[in-house]
Chains A and B, each alone.
Chain A
Amino acid sequence: MQRIKISPVTRISGFMEIDAMIDKNTIIDAKTEGLLFRGFEKMLEGRSPFDAVYFTQRICGICSTAHSIASTLALENAMGIIPSQQGRYLRDIIHGCEFLQNHIRHFYQYTAPDFIRLPEGNTLFETDHNDFRLPKQKNDLIVQHYFDSLKYSRNAHEMLAILGGKAPHNHGVFIGGITTQATPEKIKQLCFLLNNIRDFICKKMIPDAYTIAGYYKEYFKIGRGYGNLLSYGCFNGYEKLGTLFVNPSAYSDGKIMKLDPTEITENIYSSWYVANSDTYTPYQTIAEPSMKKDDAYSWVKAPRYRELPYEVGPLARMWLSGDYRNGISTMDRTLARVLEAKKIADIMFTLLSNLIPGVSVQKEYKAPQNAQGAGLIDTTRGALGHWIKIEDSVISLYQIITPSAWNLSTRSEDNLPGPGEKALIGTIIKDYDNPVEIGRTIRSFDPCISCATHVYSNGNLIKTMQVVP
């Protein structure tokens, strides 16, 4: 029996430790640990409801727009506001910019270094494993694209700033749509940048992903997880355009079903929190941090749908929309992400061509005395939910369930591993000293939590890799 701990798992947003137990080269148990706590939900209590849009973005620097959108939706829901279609188009274009920025960065800066050798002589690019299989010429082409890609993800943020003031942490997304208006000049500039980004995705990123997939074929059989997939929907339900991407839905046991948001719960059995009950619905309670819990191992909680763990993210969306049905695995997650980038770029062209310049979507809003609302939306990494309660015109409860909480959730009383943990279990580790398989699979979920991942097993510590006992 071997125990491996990896901390930090780099090339993710935040901190994670993986603790895995290995028997006869196979991972028999794994825990994903998130080791950062900030407590945004507590911080939001007593603040102005409008401020949540700007405040919650600061949860994350790589997907800050996601939070501005979910909090805006929660406010609109609480205030009974239905934004105009122009307002939705503008906001969804901003949302699309974040998808592009994120997917390009995730594929090149976070994923590719697991499979290609970056230039020598730079500490940042040094690695310890040796499982690089691409012929030099193909490897070097992707290295070139690694650096080229910086421009295109930067351009996606530039697009975001045209409508949203700045990125990260935009100012544009707000109740009713966005704060500013489209102009012919802005639309032209957005189309120009989008065209270049789409070109890069089609001509470089997608072929590069397939090149990598061709040399690492076993990753189509690694990292399946449960095969339960879930989406809150996005780019959907427009009055005139209908659904351009995916409606709220879930997939389990080979069947796709409509999503029922009342079946979403959160559990803290294995997390460093206490509450009246270990399982609760989003409006019920905000758990209090407490590191004095024997069985807890993470700051990440355990969201469940109909009491089961579900995977969220690009593969879930592309599967549910019918755009990608090759399989559910580490490599399928990566391919679904790059293919989704193209899909999003195409959707953005549709939205841009439906914009009417000079339409203001802002009004003078008044915070309600008492209200509650939910904002459920699929963002880059998957299903993101914000739930707000307003009392005396200030926030009295704010609940956030992030996509990475779904994917890297801990165990509840039933001891079912989270989707990320489940995806690791059963993986064969070829070289104990360099368990490269673990990072590859965990990164395919594009984790966005400050967490730490231990690769670990129940008992007999014989040898630890990368970490001392």
Chain B
Amino acid sequence: MNQVNSNCPNFNTRLETTSVLVNKVIDGVKQKRIKKRNLIWLELTGCSGNIISLLDGANPDFKSLATQMVNFIYDNSLMVSEGEAAMEKLFSVIDDDYILAVEGAVSTKDNGLYNVIGRCRGQPVTAYEAIKKFGEKAAHVIAVGTCASDGGISAARPNPAQCVGIQNLLDRKVIKLPGCPCHPDWFMGTLAYIMLFGEPELDNRQRPVMFYSTLIHDICPRRKYFDKGIFASKLGEKTCMFKLGCRGPVTRVDCPVRKWNEGVNWPIGDDSPCIGCAMFGFPDKMEPFISYNTT
């Protein structure tokens, strides 16, 4: 827990990236140099874990986001209005400037009726319709979490609701922040970067390089065990978990440095393998998550 991964000053700088960016935005908004942008957060076919993860963000926290950074227009989990009045707030910004954050995949089965997100003027609004409508007109679209990015667990075989990631339905640039859930820093940092400078540099899977450029395996504190060929045969051991099915060698994201929940821990710090939740193809291509076949 809390062990220092490396003495490289680059790591410390990276950890500060999000708070530096967010504080710059907040200062800019206060001084009226930067315009508060409208933010819509759509929860589609998923578990709402990304909005819960966002509430876990601490530096700065959700209050700063909602009161100092953006006009938070819509989120099913947190908004006070309900029913048609809530949906009217959502639709009120469609011709205005707004940034769209989406968590959850899009169910395409039966014309999208496997996921109805509300009613507008009496008519049910499916997730499918909502993503088409709001995705096309948004200034920026951010796929928050693995389901929105690539379908994720909502699209796990046999994919009963025929779920797809939002990019499949949108003929435009989507910024992807895979991770199950998305780390609050990844979202807050990306949003702040957009407000300051526009779209961040993305890799060939449309992920911001500032968070997704590192292979977990390359900076894993247990890498020395891998290099020496010392492998764990069960969970709970302190050595390399490669043979238990660890997906660190294929997963690009900064968990080993950033860690989770105010930086207290991460899955490998808990003596369990990475299951590749931020990796394209999760879960089907990352299975089995746990394997005792260590030969």
Chain A residue contacts of B1, Cβ below 8 A: 162, 185-186
B48 touches A179 (CB 8 A): no
Chain A residue contacts of B110, Cβ below 8 A: 291
Question: In the complex where A39-B160, A39-B161, A47-B287 touch, is A154 in contact with B55 (Cβ < 8 A)?
Answer: yes
B261 touches A161 (CB 8 A): yes
Chain B residue contacts of A160, Cβ below 8 A: 261
Residues of B18-70 at the interface with A, using a CB-CB cut-off of 8 Å, are 43, 45-53, 55-56, 58, 61-63, 66-67
Interface range for B: 35 or more
Q: How far is the CA of A6 from the CA of B122 in the complex (A)?
A: 10
Q: How far is the CA of A165 from the CA of B289 in the complex (A)?
A: 15
Q: How far is the CA of A17 from the CA of B53 in the complex (A)?
A: 25
Q: In chain A, what residue has the closest Cβ to B82?
A: A10
Q: Write the nearest CB–CB distance from B292 to chain A, whole angstroms.
A: 5
B63 touches A166 (CB 8 A): no
Q: How far is the CA of A105 from the CA of B289 in the complex (A)?
A: 31
Q: How far is the CA of A6 from the CA of B87 in the complex (A)?
A: 11
Counting from the closest, the 4 A-B pairs by CB-CB distance are A61-B49, A468-B122, A39-B160, A165-B270
A427 at interface by CB-CB < 8 Å: no
Binds B, one of A124-132, A312-320, A332-340: A124-132
Question: In the complex where A124-B73, A185-B1 touch, is A166 in contact with B266 (Cβ < 8 A)?
Answer: yes
Q: How far is the CA of A84 from the CA of B80 in the complex (A)?
A: 45
B45 touches A38 (CB 8 A): yes
B77 at interface by CB-CB < 8 Å: yes
A165 touches B84 (CB 8 A): no
Contact flags (1/0) for B116-129 with A, using CB distance below 8 Å? 11110111100000
B283 touches A158 (CB 8 A): no
B206 at interface by CB-CB < 8 Å: no
Chain A residue contacts of B52, Cβ below 8 A: 61-62, 105, 168
Question: In the complex where A39-B161, A60-B47, A122-B72 touch, is A7 in contact with B261 (Cβ < 8 A)?
Answer: no
Q: List 19 A-B contacts (CB under 8 A).
A: A7-B124, A10-B86, A11-B82, A15-B43, A36-B115, A43-B159, A47-B288, A48-B291, A55-B156, A58-B47, A61-B49, A150-B63, A161-B261, A167-B261, A171-B275, A174-B235, A362-B237, A467-B83, A467-B122
Q: How far is the CA of A122 from the CA of B63 in the complex (A)?
A: 11
Q: Which residues of B contact A (CB under 8 A)?
A: 1, 43, 45-53, 55-56, 58, 61-63, 66-67, 71-87, 89, 107, 110, 113-119, 121-124, 152-154, 156-161, 163, 180-181, 233-237, 260-262, 264-272, 275, 277, 283, 287-292
Residue among B75, B82, B110 with most chain A CB within 10 A: B82
A55 touches B153 (CB 8 A): yes
Chain B residue contacts of A166, Cβ below 8 A: 260-261, 265-267, 270
Chain A residue contacts of B82, Cβ below 8 A: 6, 8-11, 439, 466
Q: Which residues of A contact B (CB under 8 A)?
A: 5-15, 17, 35-39, 42-43, 47-48, 50-51, 54-55, 58-62, 64, 105, 109, 113, 118-119, 122-128, 147, 150-151, 153-154, 157-158, 160-169, 171-172, 174, 178-181, 185-186, 189, 289, 291, 360-366, 439, 450, 452, 464, 466-469
Q: In chain B, what residue has the closest Cβ to A46?
A: B157
Q: How far is the CA of A363 from the CA of B85 in the complex (A)?
A: 54
Among A42, A64, A163, point to the contact of B270 (Cβ < 8 A): A163
B72 touches A43 (CB 8 A): no
Q: How far is the CA of A158 from the CA of B66 in the complex (A)?
A: 22
Q: How far is the CA of A124 from the CA of B79 in the complex (A)?
A: 5
A105 touches B264 (CB 8 A): no
Q: Write the nearest CB–CB distance from A83 to chain B, whole angstroms.
A: 13
A365 touches B292 (CB 8 A): yes
B116 touches A50 (CB 8 A): no
Chain A residue contacts of B283, Cβ below 8 A: 51, 55, 58
Chain B residue contacts of A179, Cβ below 8 A: 235-236, 270-272
Chain B residue contacts of A180, Cβ below 8 A: 236, 270-272
Question: In the complex where A38-B161, A62-B48, A123-B89 touch, is A5 in contact with B264 (Cβ < 8 A)?
Answer: no
Among A15, A122, A171, A291, point to the contact of B267 (Cβ < 8 A): A171
Q: In chain B, what residue has the closest Cβ to A291?
A: B110
Instruction: Please classify the interface of chain A as helix (H, G, I), strand (E, B), loop, or mixed, using the class held by over half of its residues.
Output: loop
Sample of 14 more A-B contacts, CB < 8 Å, known A47-B288, A51-B290, A62-B48:
A7-B84, A8-B76, A11-B79, A11-B82, A37-B107, A37-B114, A43-B153, A48-B289, A124-B72, A124-B74, A128-B85, A163-B270, A172-B270, A362-B235
A61 touches B48 (CB 8 A): yes
A158 touches B115 (CB 8 A): no
Q: How far is the CA of A366 from the CA of B291 in the complex (A)?
A: 9
Q: In chain B, what residue has the closest Cβ to A165?
A: B270
Question: In the complex where A5-B83, A5-B119 touch, is A11 in contact with B236 (Cβ < 8 A)?
Answer: no
Question: In the complex where A15-B116, A35-B115, A128-B81 touch, is A154 in contact with B56 (Cβ < 8 A)?
Answer: yes
A165 touches B267 (CB 8 A): yes
Among A10, A14, A43, A51, point to the contact of B80 (Cβ < 8 A): A10
Question: In the complex where A165-B270, A179-B236 touch, is A158 in contact with B262 (Cβ < 8 A)?
Answer: yes
Q: How far is the CA of A9 from the CA of B87 in the complex (A)?
A: 11
Chain B residue contacts of A363, Cβ below 8 A: 234
Q: In chain B, what residue has the closest Cβ to A8?
A: B118
Q: How far is the CA of A181 from the CA of B141 in the complex (A)?
A: 41
Chain A residue contacts of B78, Cβ below 8 A: 10-11, 109, 124
Q: In chain B, what residue has the closest Cβ to A127?
A: B80
